[in-house]
Amino acid sequence: MRRTRFLVLSLIATALFSLDVNAQQSVVDAINSYGNFDRWSIREVKESSIIGGATKQLYEFYGNQEVTFTGKTPFEAPKGYIWRTNNVLAVVAGVVKTNNTVYPEKRGDGYCARIETHIEEVKALGVINMDVTCQGALLVGALPEPITTTKDPMAKVLYGVPFTGRPQSIVMDIKADVGHEVIRGTGFSKLKPMGYPDAAEITVLLQKRWEDEDGQVHALRVGTAIWRISEDIPEWKNGHELRIGYGDITGEPYYQEYMGLKTDPVSAYHAINSKGRNVIIQEDGWAAADEEPTHMIIVIISSCGNAFYGGVGNTLWVDNVKVVM
């Protein structure tokens, strides 16, 4: 009898482990398959006539290059697409506006992704005159549309996906033009040069998250890999590997302050809690080096500062992005 119970429990454990492994592999496959950037979709959106009425294109890296006029229809990710650009549709006070900072660019027989920081102008004679610094980004997660306010920009993005694996690294082909002077452009004041150079940044975080009785989401940092790119990479650097460090990395020789826990509400990542509320992910500490994560975050961004700050002209080109287990 005891042997039978042990056998049943073993079979259940094996089944659960298999499901867990399959779920992990599904996430890795989704990241890696779309990370070659050879397939793109194109949405066409006609902006409001009060700001010029131009027809703009928004890109995502899935599909077959077909152009689809979507108007004000919000983006819906197809099944299996867990990446997202920050190319976005906004409808603020009834005004339809777009912003596109990630583009397909031809590379050999396929494509790569070009990610750039630029100034987005919103102008209507006598009514609107706004200049906004926009950073380009690729991320694993979601960006619900439409954007309806410029307040709290970090809350617009939901960072990360459920994931319980322990990857070794992230690998990619990369080229970079960085170091442009940071310009603050909030849209509510004149553009302000800040007098210091910008850097691009690639971030991979593994977190163990939980929710308290008040609905606040907490996390321990399980794994960290952050590369701040402060020098140009003028030629393609193929197969660059960014290794993930596990546990508390503050004593490691490569540790930099910007790799630390995200405790500042201005720059903290966000998630939707079990009550459907958008909340900050509060990183409370470092996990043990052998801890199992619950979520993985990947962000590839052309500027490393807070929202509305960026070196105009900063550009990253990336291709063949893969998570290595």
What pLDDT digit, counting tens, does each position of 124-159 carry?
766 667 788 999 999 999 988 888 877 888 888 899
Q: Which residues of 126-153 are buried (b: 16+ CB within 10 A; e: fewer)?
A: eeeebbbbbbbbbbbbbbebbbeebeeb
Query: What pLDDT, on a 0 to 100 scale, did the predictor assign at position 247?
Result: 97
Q: Which residue numbers in the chain have pLDDT < 50? A: 1-21
CA distances from 12 to 5, 6, 51, 127 (A): 11, 10, 60, 65
The model carries a pTM of 0.88
The rounded distance, in Å, linking the Cα atoms of 158 and 272 is 7
End-to-end CA, the chain: 39
Closest by Cα among 113, 116, 103 to 174? 113
* Domains of the chain: total: 1
Query: What pLDDT, on a 0 to 100 scale, did the predictor assign at position 4?
Result: 38
Query: What pLDDT, on a 0 to 100 scale, did the predictor assign at position 127?
Result: 66
Residue-number span of the structural domain to which 270 is assigned = 2-324
Query: What pLDDT, on a 0 to 100 scale, did the predictor assign at position 103?
Result: 95
CA distances from 83 to 86, 94, 165, 177, 253 (A): 10, 28, 18, 23, 32
Query: What pLDDT, on a 0 to 100 scale, did the predictor assign at position 66?
Result: 75
Decide if 270 contacts 280 (C-beta within 8 A): yes
Query: What pLDDT, on a 0 to 100 scale, did the predictor assign at position 125?
Result: 61
Secondary structure class of 301 (helix, strand, coil) = strand
pLDDT tens digit sequence for 194-213: 999 999 999 999 999 999 99
